[in-house]
């Protein structure tokens, strides 16, 4: 590695004359089959990246339709039937095909083996199978949308879904079921990998926090997902065979469905956000050139969130007819689960304190994440209180709250990860200027879209209505929201262009353009070679060994490398 | 740290043909596969727990109907089946032991025994299903409940009719026959999923028998046998819970003793 | 590669224990006790049988702490899940109709 002393205000630190290695995972084989039959975790990550990007924009199209309809109080653009199908498609595609696999299946897949110093995930074939299951699920979703869609909402509440809904409920549920199993297999793979495949010296407390976040999310995947899978299977059984389970007319219990559904679907939020929090921990240390503040607190708070997250599902059901005792218990535990999330935010803020902060694109996204996550989290605490929720339940306040968490936080973290590891994945830098423009547009557009929804929700606008002509005074807020959503859409479309451009014309990044710490930056080329490392790395230091700015304002030089590769022959690669 | 140890062992000349490229040695591979299988078992436990949970809820809601209905299930056959399935779990455990010791013939024999016992279980189960079909006890398809309740007719006796706390009026819950049909619905769903797991297991064990016969396994490498053992024992555990929940509890209360 | 090989005798003892517990659970179901105790008895016996299968047939007793943790993990969450959800239903139905459904603390 060439020693380069760039001025401290220059970031990224492109080493002039850096080249892309001759052989790497991308060009080691050619041809469609070499991709469709690959067992390389990096190539499978690319397959996922392409698939979920497609479905992100598909889901976005339905969002655009929803926002256009709400521009005027009257339901004049689409009929209520079409509107119901549009928001169902938006929710189902975004949740099952984008958010759940977003960070784990792409960046988790790509980076976890590299970060822990392994050649691949524990079960490469299972990894490929999980992508095929995902694709099957996606195909089924597309089929449903083409055939005309469903109108149950992504929640499939019974007895609407079992007895009354029109459309292809069974097919949609089978698609969601498959998406769930794709996620379960990813979770099993990560758990086995993180436990058993770490390089020598990579102890639990030397793991990057990113890996901790994925470990916690994987636990949720294997514990929670099967429960929602069986709830959906029971819906299909009731709908097809008319066996009484959820429909009161057949002797069933509709609240039971909500219990089974939310037992997974609340923790599912943490499947989306925990890996995102891991991304933030990685980027915030790198771009403030400081060791993370409170490593163990962040690591354990991930685990605490994963475990406590299973005990709060009833906060979705305060007005659904659960007992008052359950309501109080769920409210209390929901307050408690806010504590580990807050711990993380405090620790990130403390990491920034007196750091040498660089405001490159990934860091801009991380800053956006912190602000939006705090707003999303605090409104979540508001909604967790029983009395307030009776007023706010099923209004746009809730819609806005969970978009702050899922788009404002999870998707922003996804974009941060995309921009941070893009040079590692492709070997090339994107245009920093366009990156910043798009990050700022996403931040501004997002707030313009969703902040008015807090207001209009507080004023009482119910979610899932396509006509609010009974309250035309809400229009101003909806106009603001729709305007914001177009800014947001452009912000999300821009990366499509400049990232694609960078693939061909971007500056060669070199192995470590951010001067970052971690095996993926210090021990692999960009893009990494087929088996990641030439030799199994041996880890001797804790993660994030950035020199504090007071002692060394510049970045580390090659002579201070913290990770050595003694002459240990790598295993049988 | 044990993990560190394995990776360092990687160059010790251990080049068994069954080591996948991502592992350093057979020990690491064995441990990783076992852990992965346990993570899968956790997933399976949660999968069944959702259904068993729902069964509990309805058993509490429709207590009399569920007791009546469950006492019409065949206790002799189910007890026999329980013994058979415990036996097949036992032979599977012995098959794994034979694989550990490299006793190929005994490995195949114990797997054949496991498969046969599993087949007996499924046969008895099929007989029971057929019995339900003959007696019109398939909810959603042909369902009739003619047997009178040992608790008296459901509509008799105001204390059996749930009253709304707010209005004092009877809550319009499903009638007794519908409640019994919910029981049979769960009976078929849960035993059906259990049977489905057994059928899948039978398919896998056939493949494993073939591979063992072809000398595919050795005392160093028998991880597929061990993983299948974990799966088969898990299926056994599911039955350990289903058996009392569906067939047994509250037998006393149907004898008129409540 | 040293894997703990359990003697056949242990397996036989476990099988006999499982069969005895099966007999016990059948016997309990005919005993004149309350429905709640019937349920408790069935669950406790099933839990003991499960532990025997998990510890010996599934070799958890001879495995490292990670396998112990994962063997317990699923059951732990099932217990959380059941306590909260069934507690909710007992409280709810009892508050709707005290005459039909047992009090939460009066089930025995
Ligand atoms: Cu929630």
Total beta-carbon pairs less than 8 A apart between chain A and chain B: 158
**B43, B58, B62 member nearest A184 (Cβ):** B43
Distances (CA, A) of C108 to B257, C38, C103: 16, 10, 10
Question: Helix, strand, or coil here: A255?
Answer: helix
Cα dihedral sign for A46, A51, A54, A60? negative
CB A283 within 8 A of CB A416: yes
ipTM of the complex: 0.89
In the predicted model, what is the mean pLDDT of chain B? 82
User: Chains near B, with 3+ CB pairs < 8 A?
Assistant: A, C
| Encoded tokens for A431 | 């245009």
Query: Which residue in chain A is spatially nearest to B17 when comparing CA positions?
Result: A572
Residue A456 CA to residue A478 CA, distance in Å, equals 8
Segment (H or E) for C72: helix C65-96
Beta-carbon separation of B252 and C29 below 8 A: yes
Distances (CA, A) of B146 to A241, B64, B137, B179, B180: 21, 15, 10, 13, 11
Residue C40 CA to residue A436 CA, distance in Å, equals 62
Residue B149, pLDDT score: 53
- Neighbouring CB atoms inside 10 A of A451's CB total 16
Q: At C9, is the pLDDT very low, low, confident or very high (cuts 50, 70, 90)?
A: very high
Residue A5 has pLDDT above 60, yes or no: no
d(CA C24, nearest CA chain B) in Å:
11
| Protein residues within 5 Å, CB atom, of ion ligand 1 | A 266
Residue C91, pLDDT score: 83
Taking each helix axis from N to C terminus, what angle separates C8-29 and B75-101, rounded to the nearest 10 degrees? Answer: 170
d(CA A222, nearest CA chain C) in Å:
9
Q: Report, as an integer, the average pLDDT of B24-52.
A: 92
Residue tagged 């009739």 (tokens): B144
| Encoded tokens for A475 | 């229009």
In the predicted model, what is the mean pLDDT of chain C? 85
pLDDT above 70 as % of chain A = 94
Beta-carbon separation of B229 and C58 below 8 A: yes
Please state the separation of Cα B167 from the chain's center in Å: 43
Residue A158 CA to residue A250 CA, distance in Å, equals 12
**C15 at A interface, C-beta within 8 A:** no
**B38, B61, B248 member nearest C29 (Cβ):** B248
User: Chains near A, with 3+ CB pairs < 8 A?
Assistant: B, C
Residue B252, pLDDT score: 72
Question: For A197-253, where are the alpha helices, taking DSSP H only?
Answer: 209-241
Residue A334 CA to residue A382 CA, distance in Å, equals 10
Residue A226 CA to residue B45 CA, distance in Å, equals 9
d(CA C21, nearest CA chain B) in Å:
10
**C30, C53, C56 member nearest B251 (Cβ):** C30
In the reported structure, the alpha carbon of residue B210 is separated from the centroid of ligand 1 by a whole-number distance in angstroms of: 49
Q: Report, as an integer, the average pLDDT of C20-34.
A: 90
Residue ranges covered by each domain of chain A = 32-571
Task: Collect all residues of chain C within an 8 Å Cβ-Cβ radius of residue A263.
Answer: 81
Phi, psi dihedrals of residue B198, rounded to the nearest 5°: -70, -40
CB A105 within 8 A of CB A271: no
**B156 at C interface, C-beta within 8 A:** no
Residue B155, pLDDT score: 41
Domains of chain B: 47-142+176-255 (1.20.120.80)
Q: What is the CATH number of domain A32-571?
A: 1.20.210.10
Q: Decide which of A21 and B41 is more confident.
A: B41
Phi, psi dihedrals of residue A462, rounded to the nearest 5°: -75, 150
Residue B52, pLDDT score: 93
- Please confirm whether the linkage preceding A387 is cis (ω < 30° from 0): no
Residue A486: closest CA among A60, A14, A4? A60
Task: Collect all residues of chain B within an 8 Å Cβ-Cβ radius of residue C32.
Answer: 252, 257
Residue A130 has pLDDT above 60, yes or no: yes
Q: Summarize pLDDT for A351-384 with one digit per residue, the tens.
A: 999 888 899 999 999 999 999 999 999 999 999 9
Residue B133 CA to residue A335 CA, distance in Å, equals 51
Residue ranges covered by each domain of chain C = 8-96
Taking each helix axis from N to C terminus, what angle separates B26-61 and C65-96, rounded to the nearest 10 degrees? Answer: 10
Residue A86: closest CA among A68, A73, A103, A100? A68
Q: Decide which of B23 and A297 is more confident.
A: A297
Q: Decide which of B253 and C45 is more confident.
A: C45
Residue B1 CA to residue A201 CA, distance in Å, equals 8
Q: How far apart are the first and last CA of chain A?
A: 24
pLDDT above 90 as % of chain A = 71
Task: Collect all residues of chain B within an 8 Å Cβ-Cβ radius of residue C50.
Answer: 237, 240-241
Residue A553 has pLDDT above 70, yes or no: no
**B178 at A interface, C-beta within 8 A:** yes
Q: Among A169-173, C30-34, C49-53, C84-88, whose mean pLDDT is lowest?
A: C30-34
Residue B157, pLDDT score: 40
d(CA C82, nearest CA chain A) in Å:
11
Residue C39 CA to residue C46 CA, distance in Å, equals 11
Residue A455 CA to residue A473 CA, distance in Å, equals 12
In the reported structure, the alpha carbon of residue A145 is separated from the centroid of ligand 1 by a whole-number distance in angstroms of: 27
Residue C92 CA to residue C89 CA, distance in Å, equals 5
**A227, A311, A321 member nearest C84 (Cβ):** A311
User: Chains near C, with 3+ CB pairs < 8 A?
Assistant: A, B
Q: Which residues, listed in sequence order, are joined to residue A428 by a DSSP beta bridge?
A: A508
Phi, psi dihedrals of residue A180, rounded to the nearest 5°: -60, -45
Residue A423, pLDDT score: 93
Residue A535, pLDDT score: 84
Residue A564 has pLDDT above 60, yes or no: no
**C96 at A interface, C-beta within 8 A:** no
Q: Which residues contact A93 (CB under 8 A, 6 or more apart)?
A: A55, A58, A59, A62, A141, A145
CB A122 within 8 A of CB A192: yes
Instruction: Give one DSSP letter per residue of A160-188, joined into a string.
Output: IIIII--B-HHHHHHHHHHHHHHHHHHHH
- Neighbouring CB atoms inside 10 A of C8's CB total 11
Residue A568 has pLDDT above 50, yes or no: no
| Encoded tokens for A272 | 């989306």
Q: Summarize pLDDT for B52-93 with one digit per residue, the tens.
A: 999 999 988 888 888 888 888 889 999 999 999 999 999 999
Residue A321 has pLDDT above 60, yes or no: yes
Burial class from Cβ neighbours inside 10 Å (0-12, 13-18, 19+) for residue A71 reads middle
Residue A454 has pLDDT above 60, yes or no: yes
Residue C99, pLDDT score: 61
Residue B5 has pLDDT above 80, yes or no: no
Beta-carbon separation of C77 and A195 below 8 A: no
Residue A523, pLDDT score: 87
Residue A569 has pLDDT above 70, yes or no: no
Q: Summarize pLDDT for B83-95 with one digit per residue, the tens.
A: 999 999 999 999 9
Residue B233 CA to residue B93 CA, distance in Å, equals 8
Beta-carbon separation of C86 and B163 below 8 A: no
Residue tagged 């912190």 (tokens): A370
Residue A7 has pLDDT above 80, yes or no: no
Q: At A473, is the pLDDT very low, low, confident or very high (cuts 50, 70, 90)?
A: very high
Q: Which residues, listed in sequence order, are joined to residue A462 by a DSSP beta bridge?
A: A395
Residue B120 CA to residue A148 CA, distance in Å, equals 46
Q: Summarize pLDDT for A486-502 with one digit per residue, the tens.
A: 999 999 999 999 999 99
Residue A138 has pLDDT above 80, yes or no: yes
Q: Decide which of B216 and B14 is more confident.
A: B216
Instruction: Give one DSSP letter per residue of A370-427, joined into a string.
Output: HHHHHHHHHHHHHHHSHHHHHHHTTBHHHHHHHHIIIIIIIIHHHHHHHHHHHHHHHS
Phi, psi dihedrals of residue A320, rounded to the nearest 5°: -95, -5
**C105 at A interface, C-beta within 8 A:** no
In the reported structure, the alpha carbon of residue A269 is separated from the centroid of ligand 1 by a whole-number distance in angstroms of: 7
Residue B107: closest CA among B35, B211, B193, B238? B211
Q: Which residues contact A210 (CB under 8 A, 6 or more apart)?
A: A111, A112, A115, A275, A278, A279, A281, A282
In the reported structure, the alpha carbon of residue A310 is separated from the centroid of ligand 1 by a whole-number distance in angstroms of: 10
Beta-carbon separation of A192 and B141 below 8 A: no
Residue C68: closest CA among C83, C51, C81? C51
Task: Collect all residues of chain C within an 8 Å Cβ-Cβ radius of residue A195.
Answer: 66
CB A490 within 8 A of CB A445: yes
Q: At CB < 8 A and 24+ separation, what contacts does A26-31 make? A: A26/A426, A26/A527, A28/A529, A28/A530
Residue A521 has pLDDT above 70, yes or no: yes
d(CA B105, nearest CA chain A) in Å:
30
Q: At C100, is the pLDDT very low, low, confident or very high (cuts 50, 70, 90)?
A: low
CB C12 within 8 A of CB B98: no
CB B85 within 8 A of CB B122: no
Q: Summarize pLDDT for B107-165 with one digit per residue, the tens.
A: 999 999 999 999 999 999 999 999 888 888 888 777 877 765 555 444 434 444 444 44
Residue B148, pLDDT score: 56
Q: Report, as an integer, the average pLDDT of A48-67.
A: 94
Q: Where are the beta strands (DSSP E) in chain B?
A: 137-138, 142-143
Q: Summarize pLDDT for C75-98 with one digit per residue, the tens.
A: 999 998 898 998 888 888 777 766
Residue B32: closest CA among A118, C74, A384? A118
Half-sphere exposure of A107 (CA within 13 A, CB side): 32
Q: Among A45-59, A239-253, A295-309, B33-47, whose mean pLDDT is lowest?
A: A239-253
Q: Summarize pLDDT for A186-226 with one digit per residue, the tens.
A: 999 999 999 999 999 999 999 999 999 999 999 999 999 99
């Amino acid at each position: 590695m060439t020693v380069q002393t760039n001025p401290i205000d220059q970031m990224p630190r492109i080493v002039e004359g850096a080249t892309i290695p001759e052989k790497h995972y991308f060009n080691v084989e050619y041809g469609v089959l070499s991709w469709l039959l690959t067992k390389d975790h990096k190539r499978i990550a690319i397959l996922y990246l392409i698939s979920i990007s497609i479905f992100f924009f598909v889901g976005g199209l339905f969002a655009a339709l929803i926002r256009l309809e709400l521009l005027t109080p009257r339901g004049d653009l689409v009929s209520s039937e079409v509107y119901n199908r549009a928001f169902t498609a938006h929710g189902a595609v975004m949740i099952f095909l984008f958010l759940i696999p977003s960070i784990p299946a792409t960046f988790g897949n790509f980076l976890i083996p590299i970060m822990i110093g392994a050649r691949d995930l524990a079960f490469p074939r299972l990894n490929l199978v999980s992508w095929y299951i995902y694709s099957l699920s996606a195909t089924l979703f597309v089929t449903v949308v083409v055939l005309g869609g469903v109108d149950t909402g992504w929640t499939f509440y019974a007895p609407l879904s079992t007895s009354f809904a029109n459309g292809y409920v069974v097919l949609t549920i089978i698609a969601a079921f498959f998406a769930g199993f794709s996620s379960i297999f990813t979770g099993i793979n990560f758990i086995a990998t993180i436990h058993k495949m770490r390089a020598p010296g990579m102890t639990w407390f030397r793991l990057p926090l990113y890996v901790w976040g994925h470990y916690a999310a994987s636990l949720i995947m294997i514990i929670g997902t099967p429960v929602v899978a069986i709830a959906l299977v029971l819906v299909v059984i009731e709908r097809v065979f008319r066996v009484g389970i959820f429909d009161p007319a057949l002797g069933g219990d509709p609240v039971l469905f909500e219990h089974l559904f939310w037992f997974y679907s609340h923790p599912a939020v943490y499947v989306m956000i925990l890996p995102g929090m891991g991304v933030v921990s990685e980027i915030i240390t790198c771009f403030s050139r400081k060791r993370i503040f409170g490593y163990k607190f962040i690591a354990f708070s991930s685990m605490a969130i994963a475990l406590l997250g299973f005990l709060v599902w009833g906060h979705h059901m305060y007005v659904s007819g659960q007992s008052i005792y359950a309501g109080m218990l769920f409210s209390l535990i929901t307050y408690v689960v806010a504590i580990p999330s807050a711990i993380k935010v405090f620790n990130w803020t403390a990491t920034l304190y007196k750091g040498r902060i660089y405001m490159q694109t990934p860091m801009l996204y991380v800053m956006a994440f912190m602000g939006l996550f705090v707003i999303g989290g605090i409104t979540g605490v508001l909604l967790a209180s029983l009395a307030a929720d009776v007023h706010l339940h099923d209004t746009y306040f809730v819609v806005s709250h969970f978009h702050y968490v899922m788009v404002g936080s999870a998707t922003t973290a996804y974009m941060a990860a995309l921009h941070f590891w893009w040079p590692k994945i492709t070997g090339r830098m994107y245009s920093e200027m366009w990156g910043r423009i798009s990050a700022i547009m996403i931040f501004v557009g997002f707030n313009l879209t969703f902040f008015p929804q807090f207001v209009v929700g507080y004023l009482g606008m119910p979610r899932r209505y396509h006509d609010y002509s009974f309250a035309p005074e809400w229009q101003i807020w909806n106009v603001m929201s729709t305007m914001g959503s177009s800014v947001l859409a452009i912000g999300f479309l821009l990366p499509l262009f400049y990232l694609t451009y960078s693939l061909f014309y971007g500056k060669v990044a070199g192995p470590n353009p951010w001067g970052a710490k971690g095996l993926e930056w210090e021990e692999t080329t960009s893009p990494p070679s087929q088996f990641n490392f030439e030799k199994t790395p041996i880890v001797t230091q804790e993660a994030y060994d950035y020199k504090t700015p007071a002692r060394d304002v510049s970045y580390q030089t090659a002579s201070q490398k913290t990770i050595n590769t003694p002459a240990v022959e790598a295993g049988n690669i | 740290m044990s993990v560190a140890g394995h990776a360092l062992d990687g160059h010790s000349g251990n080049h068994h043909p069954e080591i996948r490229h991502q592992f350093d040695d057979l020990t690491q591979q064995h441990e990783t596969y076992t852990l992965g299988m346990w993570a899968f078992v956790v997933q399976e436990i949660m999968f069944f727990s959702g259904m068993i949970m729902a069964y509990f809820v309805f058993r509490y809601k429709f207590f009399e109907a569920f007791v009546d209905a469950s006492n019409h299930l065949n206790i002799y056959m189910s007890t026999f089946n329980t013994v058979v399935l415990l036996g097949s779990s036992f032979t599977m455990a012995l098959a794994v032991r034979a694989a550990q010791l490299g006793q190929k013939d005994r490995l195949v024999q114990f797997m054949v025994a496991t498969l046969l016992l599993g087949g007996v279980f499924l046969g008895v189960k099929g007989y029971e299903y057929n019995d339900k079909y003959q007696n019109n006890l398939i909810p959603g398809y042909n369902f009739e409940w003619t047997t009178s309740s040992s608790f008296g007719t459901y509509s008799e006796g105001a204390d059996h009719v749930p009253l709304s706390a707010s209005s004092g009026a009877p809550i319009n819950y499903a009638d007794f026959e519908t409640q019994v049909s919910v029981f049979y619905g769960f009976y078929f769903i849960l035993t059906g999923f259990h049977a489905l797991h057994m059928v899948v297991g039978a398919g896998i064990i056939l493949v494993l028998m073939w591979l063992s016969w072809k000398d595919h396994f050795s005392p160093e490498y028998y991880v597929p046998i061990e993983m299948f053992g974990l799966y088969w024992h898990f299926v056994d555990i599911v039955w350990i819970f289903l058996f009392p929940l569906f067939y047994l509890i509250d037998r006393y209360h149907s004898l008129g003793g409540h | 590669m040293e894997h703990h090989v359990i003697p056949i005798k242990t397996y036989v003892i476990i099988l006999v224990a499982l069969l005895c517990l099966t007999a016990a659970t059948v016997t309990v179901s005919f005993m004149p006790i309350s429905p709640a105790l019937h349920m408790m008895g069935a669950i406790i016996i099933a839990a003991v049988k499960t532990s025997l299968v998990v510890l010996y047939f599934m070799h958890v007793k001879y495995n490292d702490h990670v396998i112990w943790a994962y063997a317990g993990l699923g059951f732990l969450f099932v217990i959380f899940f059941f306590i909260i959800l069934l507690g909710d239903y007992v409280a709810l139905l009892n508050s709707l109709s005290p005459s039909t459904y047992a009090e939460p603390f009066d089930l025995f």
